[in-house]
Each structure stands twice: as C-alpha cells, then as structure tokens.
Amino acid sequence: MTIFDDLLALAEDAFNKSDLRKSNFGISICGTPIQEGKPIIIGINWGGGGKADKSEYFVQKKMPSKDDFINKYHNGEYNFLRRSATLLKDYFDLEISQGNFNYTNLCFFRTPKASDLTFDDKMSCLPIFEKFVKSVKPEWILSLGNSNIPFLQPEITEYYEANTEGTAHKGYGGNLWGFRFYCVPHPRARKLTNELRNAIWQNIFSCKLKIEG
C-alpha cells in the first residue's frame, strides 16, 4: 500500500464518522504528488464546486502527478499559492510553479466553505495529517492561514509569534513533530495589505534567525 492509499483509507474512515457523510461532499489528500523530503504547504479547506458545478465534490482515488498540478496552476487554479509565489521564492527559494513541494490541507474533507467544517472534523484529521508529515519528512512546513494554529499549536515546540505594528495579524513558527514549521496569514485575509503581509513574513524569519542563532 502506498502512502497515498494509506492516508486515503484513514481519511475515508474519519469522513464516514462525520456528519458530513450525509452530504455530497468528498475527500482529497493532496494537490501534488506526495514527494518525500520536499516541503509541505498547507491551506485551510479543500473547497469544492460552486452551485452550478457539484462535480468537484469527489473522493480523490488517485494521487495527482506533478504535471497535473502544473497544468492546473497555469490554468488559473491555486490562486492563493500564486499570490504567495514571490514570497515563497524570496524566503524559501521555492519556485511554486514547478511543483517541487507537497500541497495538502489540515482537514482532508471537501466542503464549500471552511465554516462547513466542525472542530471535530478538523481534529479527526489531525492524526492523519501527522502521518502525512512523518511519512514525507519535509524540509519545512508552511501554513497559509492562521486558522490552523488552534489545532496545531499544542503539537508545536519552540513556539513563537511574530507581529508587526499596525495590524492584529500575526505569524507563527516553531517545530511541528520535529520539523521546522511556519504559519502566516492567508493571502486573502481581511485588512491585510501587501506591505503588512510582507512585514509579517520578514518578522517570522527574523525571529527564526534569533532562535537558531
């Protein structure tokens, strides 16, 4: 059994115990192939089709290829990753368009909005996400969205926060299950200008250097 198959079986079991099983919602494990040793970028929610398109609420039965991700990216999908492309290049030397990373979400259930997920839904996926991380052994983990922090903070050691004057938004860092972890506000966070967003990213890495230095 591959890592993907193992994670899918665990996610299907968790989904079948959720109230979401009564819906037409589905499950996804990853947007890129699972690549051991490569970084992991996580979002908040897989989402799905709109009112006119329910086809996106599927159970992902096959791991995508790198070309699958690259084609979707160039066709306009994963816009929130595109919004972070320059920062990912500047701070991680990662060319997001090449797909040399792992993309997933903390919760593996597909729903129209993040608010459709309950606390229990997210907690039921936490051990599956932990298995994902420990199987990949990533160079680093980045959460694009602070909504993941309440679920991950108890698992983070060397935990630190970074703020910048003029905003209530924060960034976070530390070690998650032994792997370097960062969390920054979602690219579409309310009242977050590009200037403030850039400052938070800079402050996160300034804190990191102080801790490691």
pLDDT tens digits along 179-193: 999 999 887 777 777
Rounded distance between C-alpha atoms, residue 147 and residue 155, angstroms:
15
First-to-final CA distance of the chain: 42
Q: 156-163 and 40-43: which strand pairing?
A: unpaired
pLDDT tens digits along 98-112: 999 999 999 999 988
Ordered domains of the chain (ranges, CATH): 3-212 (3.40.470)
Residue 180 class from Cβ within 10 Å (0-12 exposed, 13-18 middle, 19+ buried)?
Answer: middle
Closest-CA residue to 124 (of 27, 23, 15): 15
| Stronger pLDDT, 113 or 191, i.e. the higher one | 113
Q: In this model, does residue 128 exceed pLDDT 80?
A: yes
Specify whether the backbone of 137 is left (phi greater than 0), alpha (psi in -120 to 50) or beta.
left
pLDDT tens digits along 142-167: 999 999 999 999 999 999 888 777 67
pTM comes to 0.91
